[in-house]
């Protein structure tokens, strides 16, 4: 039975991968609708033939890697349970130490290490792909350093969460999910507060914007939006990527507007001001706080469903998966697997919400700057630098895109430009 379940799981993963390979490379049509041909959203008007080919090829492979990596994570955790590795990790931990907390830490390091090794090939392929297409400029050593930093941050985070979670399971078998969620609220807010000043600087160097003339323009724009901003931060990314980005991070006094130096090097001041106005909208309309609220609501539902699904799985397949009790640390891979599946299922909704907020930010930015030419040019340059598809396949947009497609964004700006021109 165990062998059959393993074969079926691997077969399901292969069929899933083949479906998305067929969908992305043969079925999905990324051509522009004819009404947009020749418009400013048409990539043939601002990309050369080689860039068009590269963007299509790169996007297809990158999207396939995304649709392979997520179910591979499920397969990994399933096989860890099925072939008794989780049971072995617990035995090794118990043989190493008599202290329960230390046993949990040892169990976690084994599970984390095996997970890192199992997912390393796909992560390396993704890194190598971005290097081949000249998106990444990062050396292998620098990339490996970032991977290891992420490993230890994730390990440290779970080292805090897992002992508390399983202690709650033992104390309240039917309500642990609710108590765990209540404890997650201050933890989530604390991590959001910590992110820009502790975690982000582990990967990159942040410093106040060096171009003081541009900073004055941005702060004037912020004052117009009634944002009490004092500094705009610049981050050194040119030694890692050719892509462009800007974002808002943190909450309260730790909130920051951040510009990549690649953005500063490639865009004009007017283009940067449009992007900054976009980011300011997230502050003005409190998108960060709505995001935290939405995340907490979804996590409540997710933890409840995880509780129900873990118990059902243990009753139905406990013998095959070597899980006698969900309150045993051996069930942790099942917890991770179910959580990952729920996150994937919820991604169309969370992405839809994010795209709505990003559309609001685009409209806010163009109303504030009233410079559609600069706005359109900035999106065209973002497309070129990241080799992005202007019109991605539907399933890619649903499951991957937290921002509207460039077709939607540029065409909206063109409509504004025409309307604005007619009003003059």
Closest CA to 118 of 77, 148, 83, 170: 77
Cα of first residue to Cα of last residue in the chain, in angstroms, is 74
Long-range contact list for 281-284, CB < 8 A, 24+ apart? Answer: 281/225, 281/360, 281/361, 281/364, 281/365, 282/248, 282/357, 282/361, 283/225, 283/227, 283/248, 283/255, 283/257, 284/225, 284/226, 284/227, 284/364
- The C-alpha angle with vertex 145 and arms to 135 and 260, in degrees rounded to 5, equals 45
Could you tell me the strand order of the sheet in which 246-249 lies?
206-208, 233-235, 256-260, 246-249
Question: So which residues are the catalytic ones?
Answer: 279, 362
Do the Cβ atoms of 297 and 181 come closer than 8 Å? no
Tokens linked to 225: 């939006």
Determine whether 312 is exposed, middle or buried from the number of CB atoms within 10 Å of its CB (0-12, 13-18, 19+). exposed
Give the C-alpha distances (Å, rounded to integers) separating 342 from 70, 198, 302, 335.
11, 29, 7, 11
Q: Is the dihedral of CA 129, 402, 384, 34 positive or negative?
A: positive
Residue 246 host element (H or E): strand 246-249
For residue 244, the SS3 value is coil
The total number of residues shown for the chain amounts to 424
Contacts of 164 (CB under 8 A, 6+ apart): 180, 183
Contacts of 177 (CB under 8 A, 6+ apart): 303, 304, 306, 307
Do the Cβ atoms of 238 and 262 come closer than 8 Å? yes
Binding residue ranges for Zn(2+)? 278, 282, 358
> What does the alpha-carbon distance between residue 180 and residue 165 come to, in Å, rounded to a whole number?
6
List the helix and strand counts (H, then E) for the chain. 15, 4
Determine whether 282 is exposed, middle or buried from the number of CB atoms within 10 Å of its CB (0-12, 13-18, 19+). buried
Give the C-alpha distances (Å, rounded to integers) separating 278 from 245, 257, 367.
12, 11, 10
Binding residue ranges? 278, 282, 358
Tokens linked to 3: 């062998």
């Amino acid at each position: 039975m165990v062998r059959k379940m393993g074969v079926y799981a691997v077969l399901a993963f292969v069929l899933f991968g083949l479906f998305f390979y067929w969908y992305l490379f043969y079925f999905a049509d990324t051509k522009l609708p004819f009404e947009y041909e020749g418009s400013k959203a048409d990539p043939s008007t601002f990309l050369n033939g080689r860039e068009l080919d590269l963007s299509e090829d790169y996007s297809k492979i990158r999207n396939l890697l995304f649709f392979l990596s997520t179910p591979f994570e499920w397969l990994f955790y399933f096989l860890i349970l099925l072939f008794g590795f989780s049971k072995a990790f617990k035995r090794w931990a118990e043989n190493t130490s008599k202290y329960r907390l230390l046993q949990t830490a040892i169990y976690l390091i084994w599970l984390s290490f095996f997970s890192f090794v199992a997912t390393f090939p796909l992560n390396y392929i993704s890194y190598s792909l971005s290097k081949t297409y000249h998106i990444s400029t990062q050396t292998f050593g620098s990339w490996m350093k970032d991977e290891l930093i992420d490993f230890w941050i994730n390990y440290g985070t779970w080292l805090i969460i897992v002992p508390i979670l399983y202690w709650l399971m033992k104390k309240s078998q039917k309500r642990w999910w609710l108590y765990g969620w209540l404890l997650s609220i201050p933890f989530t807010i604390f991590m959001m507060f910590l992110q820009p000043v502790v975690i982000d600087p582990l990967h990159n160097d942040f410093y106040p914007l060096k171009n003081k003339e541009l900073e004055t323009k941005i702060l004037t724009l912020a004052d117009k939006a009634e944002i009490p901003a004092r500094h705009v931060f610049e981050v050194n990314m040119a030694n890692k990527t050719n892509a462009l980005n800007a974002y808002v991070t943190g909450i309260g006094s730790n909130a920051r507007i951040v510009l990549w130096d690649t953005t500063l090097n490639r865009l004009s001041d007017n283009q940067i001001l449009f992007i900054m106005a976009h980011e300011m909208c997230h502050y003005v309309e409190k998108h960060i706080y709505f995001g935290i609220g939405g995340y907490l609501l979804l996590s409540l539902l997710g933890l409840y469903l995880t509780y129900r699904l873990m118990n059902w799985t243990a009753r139905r397949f406990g013998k095959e998966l070597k899980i006698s009790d969900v309150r045993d640390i051996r069930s942790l891979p099942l917890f991770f697997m179910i959580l990952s599946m729920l996150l994937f299922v919820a991604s169309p909704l969370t992405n839809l919400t994010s795209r709505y907020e990003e559309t609001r930010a685009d409209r806010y930015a163009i109303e504030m700057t009233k410079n559609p030419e600069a706005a359109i040019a900035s999106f065209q340059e973002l497309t070129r630098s990241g080799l992005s598809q202007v019109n991605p396949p539907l399933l890619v947009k649903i499951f991957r895109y937290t921002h509207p497609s460039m077709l939607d964004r540029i065409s909206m700006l063109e409509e504004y430009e025409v309307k604005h021109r007619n009003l003059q």
